[in-house]
């Protein structure tokens, strides 16, 4: 698989060979959904908290005597049916929302989303991204120039999740220059996951050789771990 490499001015400068096992994976909607939901759950914070009847204030005295008043019997104003009483089955901050994600699952979902973005023409490779000085103008000019690439005309649309720029390493000049652009986020390749790729519309990868090398090493690592686990299973079965 070959794909075009562009400069930061939107001109073609070469091509790059993409590995099939990373950028040619068949789309698996169920896997992507499972991994994305797990990432969202793991990022969820348990801040909502209600008090039960044992935690609310007051209620130490019986509101009125048991019989003879003509009213329903009550033992405490902390009861959930009273205004200001405790809450039944309300949200509690000790609840744990985290979900387990296997490494192989997360890696496979990442490759699936990279392949999907490439198939949908929403993945752009640029040769390098260097900003000499921390100024928003440099970042803005680069993003405007990349709108000249076919399929990326709406790259600068003012949406918080419109573009994700992946770099081998983020310098202070790059971080400051892109900070004021609300429609784009910059991150390092090593931090990307399937949730980020699914959330952002356009993906821009700078220095594609380094990124492809990182993905290839990650793929080999998971294959090696898988083969080792299979050997362990075979030994235990023979035993």
**Could you tell me if 202 and 224 lie in one domain?**
yes
**Could you tell me if 200 and 184 lie in one domain?**
yes
Q: For 76-100, how does the pLDDT look when each residue is reduced to its tens digit (9 = 90+)?
A: 999 999 999 999 999 999 999 999 9
What is the number of domains present in the chain?
2
**Could you tell me if 125 and 158 lie in one domain?**
yes
**Could you tell me if 91 and 197 lie in one domain?**
no
**Could you tell me if 71 and 184 lie in one domain?**
no
Residue 237 is predicted with a pLDDT of 38
Given a cut of 50, whether residue 164 has pLDDT beyond it is yes
Residue 118 is predicted with a pLDDT of 95
**Could you tell me if 163 and 198 lie in one domain?**
yes
Residue 51 is predicted with a pLDDT of 95
Given a cut of 80, whether residue 204 has pLDDT beyond it is yes
**Could you tell me if 80 and 177 lie in one domain?**
no
Given a cut of 80, whether residue 236 has pLDDT beyond it is no
**Could you tell me if 77 and 29 lie in one domain?**
no
Mean model confidence pLDDT for the chain: 90
Q: How many CB atoms are located within 10 Å of the residue 104 CB?
A: 13
Mean pLDDT of the 35-62 span? 93
**Could you tell me if 7 and 92 lie in one domain?**
no
**Could you tell me if 80 and 168 lie in one domain?**
no
Q: Is the distance from CB of 211 to CB of 18 less than 8 angstroms?
A: no
What value does the CA radius of gyration of the chain take, rounded to a whole number of Å?
27
pLDDT band at 239 (very low <50, low <70, confident <90, very high): very low
The backbone torsions φ and ψ at residue 42, rounded to the nearest 5 degrees and listed phi first, read -70, -20
Residue 227 is predicted with a pLDDT of 56
**Could you tell me if 134 and 223 lie in one domain?**
yes
Q: How many CB atoms are located within 10 Å of the residue 101 CB?
A: 18
Report the predicted TM-score, pTM, of the whole model to 2 decimal places. 0.81
Domain that holds residue 79: 48-96
Calculate what percentage of the chain has a pLDDT beyond 70.
92
**Could you tell me if 26 and 78 lie in one domain?**
no
Q: Is the distance from CB of 100 to CB of 38 less than 8 angstroms?
A: yes
CATH of the domain at 31: 3.40.1370.10
Say which residue, 216 or 199, is predicted with more confidence.
199
Given a cut of 90, whether residue 226 has pLDDT beyond it is no
Given a cut of 70, whether residue 169 has pLDDT beyond it is yes
Q: For 95-140, how does the pLDDT look when each residue is reduced to its tens digit (9 = 90+)?
A: 999 999 998 999 999 999 999 999 999 999 999 999 999 999 999 9
């Amino acid at each position: 698989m070959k794909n075009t490499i562009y400069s930061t001015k939107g001109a073609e400068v070469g091509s790059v060979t993409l590995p099939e096992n990373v950028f040619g994976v068949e789309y698996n909607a169920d896997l992507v959904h499972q991994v994305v939901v797990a990432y969202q759950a793991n990022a969820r914070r348990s801040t909502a908290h209600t008090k039960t009847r044992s935690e609310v204030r007051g209620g130490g005295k019986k509101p009125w005597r048991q019989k003879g008043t003509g009213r329903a019997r009550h033992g405490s104003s902390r009861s959930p049916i009273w205004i200001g009483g405790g809450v039944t089955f309300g949200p509690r901050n000790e609840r744990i929302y985290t979900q387990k994600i296997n490494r192989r699952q997360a890696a496979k979902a990442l490759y699936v989303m990279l392949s999907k973005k490439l198939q949908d023409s929403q993945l752009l490779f640029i040769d390098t991204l260097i900003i000499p000085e921390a100024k928003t103008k440099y970042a803005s000019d680069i993003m405007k120039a990349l709108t000249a690439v076919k399929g990326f005309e709406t790259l600068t649309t003012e949406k918080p999740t419109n573009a994700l720029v992946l770099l081998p390493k983020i310098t202070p000049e790059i971080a400051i220059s892109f900070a004021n652009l609300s429609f784009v986020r910059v991150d390092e390749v090593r931090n990307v996951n399937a949730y980020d790729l699914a959330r952002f519309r356009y993906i821009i990868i700078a220095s594609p050789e380094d990124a492809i090398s990182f993905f290839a090493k990650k793929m080999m690592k998971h294959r090696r771990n898988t083969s080792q686990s299979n050997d362990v299973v075979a030994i235990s079965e023979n035993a």
